[in-house]
Amino acid sequence: MCGIVGYIGKKQAAPIILDGLAKLEYRGYDSAGMAIYDGEKINIKKSVGRLNVLENLTHGGETMPGVLGIGHTRWATHGAPSDENSHPHFNKDETIAVVHNGIIENYLPLKKKMMDKGYEFRSETDTEVLAHLLDYYYKGNPLEAITKVLHRVEGSYALGIMFAEHPDEIFAVRKDSPLIVGQNDDGCFIASDVPAVLKYTRTVTYVENQEIVRLRDDHMHFYTVDEEEIQKTPVTIDWDANAAEKGGYEHFMLKEMYEQPKTVNDTISPRIKENDIVIEELNMSDEDILAVKKIHIVACGSAYHTGVTAKYVIEGLARIPVEVDVASEFRYRNPILEEGALVVVISQSGETADTLAALRESQARGFKVLGIVNVVGSSIAREADNVMYTWAGPEIAVATTKAYSAQLVALYLLAMKFGKVRGKISDAEFKEMLNDLKCLPDQIELLLGNKERIQRFANRYVGAKDVFFIGRGIDYAISMEGSLKLKEISYIHSEAYAAGELKHGTISLIEEGTLVAAVSTQPALFQKTISNMVEVKARGAFVLAVTCEGNKEIEKAADYVIYIPETNPYFANSLAIIPLQLFGYYVAVGKGCDVDKPRNLAKSVTVE
């Protein structure tokens, strides 16, 4: 959601900025722009549309010479996607340029104030108010102007700022929106995320809330909002730059689906030691685990779906009650957190605004928060009391696949650990479950190998209008994710229903030929789900079933069956989701959709 890249150094800035913005495309955007200082003045080029529009407009950056600049990909919040609303934004004399990720919540009163002072606004954005406020407070000292503005604005922001009168420096600021800075021998960089600078440097510093960075070509200084200088320690990024490249696959999503055996293995293996599960990062003794009376899982989107699965797994294996909340609801419903509650937030990006707010809300009430996070060093990772990383590596496609799978297995580990410590799983069961866990990567590989069959089936549904996914218990959680995967990338309307619930209204939407995907992986519920399949089939539905090997009876009620290998029923989600991911992917490819960057979506949702 909005990407920021800035550079100051010995090289031409525009190509570096364009390159960095391309690496942030996965965040989602609808327009792009750059401000470059050419030795005399700041020039801005910006346009609605994809990054290639800006690349063409500037001949790959060649027509914007200069060694310092800031760039931006915008995901519209205030004001429609348009050239005027694109960033950067100028002050009135075009001597100060600003790019912004986040939302200035009090921009309306500030805008009115600035208009009363004679400032004219050229855009409908909240961001432009920052450019005029900086203009108003700037009396020759950029740092002073920035701190004065920060004391007046409310909301979230990551900013890149440049002043024509200070052509040897650019500024970066952050509050509740991600921002990193980096340095190499040629210059210094600002970026919303590490992949944007990885080609140039592995030495990065995470900017914390309300810190200001002054970047020159050979050094960086960090300040508080009170202009006090602070020292920060850079970190070295050790992940492979190739991990953020497509590596021969047609789409990042396909590549990431194919990485799932590895990410599942990478998340499980380091935590299985001598036939036990050791999760050091939990920082919980057996006594602490025994003292947990309730678990609250809070997340958004697909991460929420892993939470719904975890509810069944944790309650089943550890017999601890679990409540699962969508983060945007949790924070405003005054949740009841009582002694013995453990809050678990799940997030790939570690930057999702609502999940972060839920974490803070829980901590403010005195509860410890465990973060299950993918992006190392992200806000949630830094603010959670304890962090269990999912080792999925950088996920670029907007629709999550490998991070989702890694989250699932991290939650299985947690459930098994709690179940064992609480004496709810026998040694024999635990041993068998460990074996089943270790088999998951190979079984996922096997299912991925079946992609042609799913592709052929998917091709029949590129023209579908509505698709329904049904399942019971864990299968309902799988259905929710299968449905989201399809709709978010193919734009086909789809809904997930608890299989028994369909007949309470929604079944009226079933017409001749409507596709109903029935997920049935829980042996105890096979018969029940078959009854629901028969109900929709009788009304003309075409029934696709995803079930376990050996459940031949389902063929009586299904028109097409995909079998998943045998595993512990609690782990079935990890297998059943693979054909559903492939189905969504191939329908979207068949429709010619922009699979990796679906319309209207952002990878990292840093606004509420």
Q: Would you please indicate which residues are annotated as catalytic (active-site) residues? A: 2, 603
Instruction: Give dist(CA 191, CA 70) in Å, integer.
Output: 10
**192 is a contact residue toward ligand F6R (CB under 6 A):** no
282 token code pair = 């939990």
Which residue number, 399 or 410, has a Cβ lying nearer to ligand F6R? 399
Q: Which residues of 129-153 are buried (b: 16+ CB within 10 A; e: fewer)?
A: bbbbbbbbbbeeebbebbbbbbebb
Using DSSP, state whether 348 is helix, strand or coil.
coil
**66 is a contact residue toward ligand F6R (CB under 6 A):** no
CA distances from 107 to 2, 113, 121, 145, 174 (A): 18, 10, 12, 17, 17
Using DSSP, state whether 268 is helix, strand or coil.
helix
**147 is a contact residue toward ligand F6R (CB under 6 A):** no
Which residue number, 163 or 252, has a Cβ lying nearer to ligand F6R? 252
Instruction: Give dist(CA 325, CA 315) in Å, integer.
Output: 16
Q: To the nearest whole angstrom, how small is the minimum distance from the Cβ of residue 551 to ligand F6R?
A: 28
**Cα angle 63, 100, 182; round to 5:** 75
Task: Lay out the site mask for ligand F6R across 461-500 (x = CB under 6 A, - = otherwise).
Answer: -----------------------x---x------------
Nearest partner of 414 among 372, 380, 377, 385, judged by Cα? 372
CB of 6 closer than 8 Å to CB of 163: no
Which residue number, 34 or 76, has a Cβ lying nearer to ligand F6R? 76
Which residue number, 110 or 399, has a Cβ lying nearer to ligand F6R? 399
DSSP string across 95-121 = -EEEEEEEEETTHHHHHHHHHHTT---
Q: Residue 518's beta-bridge partner residues?
A: 470, 545
Q: Which of 127, 177, 263, 348 binds ligand F6R (CB under 6 A)?
A: 348
**347 is a contact residue toward ligand F6R (CB under 6 A):** yes
Q: To the nearest whole angstrom, how small is the minimum distance from the Cβ of residue 389 to ligand F6R?
A: 13
Q: To the nearest whole angstrom, how small is the minimum distance from the Cβ of residue 52 to ligand F6R?
A: 24
Give the dihedral sign, CA 203/204/205/206. negative
With tokens 């496609």, the residue in question is 397
Q: To the nearest whole angstrom, how small is the minimum distance from the Cβ of residue 485 to ligand F6R?
A: 7
Q: To the nearest whole angstrom, how small is the minimum distance from the Cβ of residue 585 to ligand F6R?
A: 11
Q: Residue 171's beta-bridge partner residues?
A: 161, 214
**176 is a contact residue toward ligand F6R (CB under 6 A):** no
Task: Lay out the site mask for ligand F6R across 292-331 (x = CB under 6 A, - = otherwise).
Answer: --------xxxx----------------------------
Q: To the nearest whole angstrom, how small is the minimum distance from the Cβ of residue 196 to ligand F6R?
A: 17
Q: Which of 349, 379, 479, 490 binds ligand F6R (CB under 6 A)?
A: 349
**355 is a contact residue toward ligand F6R (CB under 6 A):** yes
423: left (phi over 0), alpha (psi -120 to 50) or beta: left
Which one of the spans 161-169, 234-242, 349-357, 535-543 is the region binding ligand F6R (CB under 6 A)? 349-357
Instruction: Give dist(CA 569, CA 567) in Å, integer.
Output: 6
Which residue number, 162 or 299, has a Cβ lying nearer to ligand F6R? 299
CB of 298 closer than 8 Å to CB of 345: yes
Which residue number, 348 or 567, has a Cβ lying nearer to ligand F6R? 348
C-alpha dihedral, 15 to 18 to 19 to 23, nearest 10°:
170
Q: Which of 408, 605, 606, 607 binds ligand F6R (CB under 6 A)?
A: 605
527 token code pair = 């018969």
Which one of the spans 262-270, 307-315, 348-356, 384-392 is the region binding ligand F6R (CB under 6 A)? 348-356
571 token code pair = 């782990």
Which residue number, 16 or 308, has a Cβ lying nearer to ligand F6R? 308
Question: What is the size of the binding site for ligand F6R (CB under 6 A)?
Answer: 14
Instruction: Give dist(CA 498, CA 592) in Å, integer.
Output: 31
Which residue number, 76 or 502, has a Cβ lying nearer to ligand F6R? 76
Using DSSP, state whether 546 is helix, strand or coil.
strand
DSSP string across 459-501 = HTTTT-SEEEEEESTHHHHHHHHHHHHHHHHH--EEEEEEGGG
CB of 176 closer than 8 Å to CB of 102: yes
Q: Which of 400, 483, 567, 606 binds ligand F6R (CB under 6 A)?
A: 400
Q: To the nearest whole angstrom, how small is the minimum distance from the Cβ of residue 351 to ligand F6R?
A: 7
With tokens 């850079």, the residue in question is 234
Which residue number, 73 or 568, has a Cβ lying nearer to ligand F6R? 73
Q: To the nearest whole angstrom, how small is the minimum distance from the Cβ of residue 374 to ligand F6R?
A: 7
Q: Beta strands of 374-492 (E only): which ranges? A: 386-389, 466-471
Which residue number, 279 or 356, has a Cβ lying nearer to ligand F6R? 356
Instruction: Taking each helix axis as running N to C, give the angle between helix 451-459 and helix 572-590, from 0 to 180 degrees, rounded to the nearest 10.
Output: 50
With tokens 């327009």, the residue in question is 31
Which one of the spans 27-35, 344-352, 431-439, 443-451 is the region binding ligand F6R (CB under 6 A)? 344-352
Which one of the spans 138-146, 341-349, 362-370, 449-457 is the region binding ligand F6R (CB under 6 A)? 341-349
**399 is a contact residue toward ligand F6R (CB under 6 A):** yes
Where do contacts with ligand F6R occur on this chain (CB under 6 A)? 300-303, 347-349, 352, 355, 399-400, 484, 488, 605
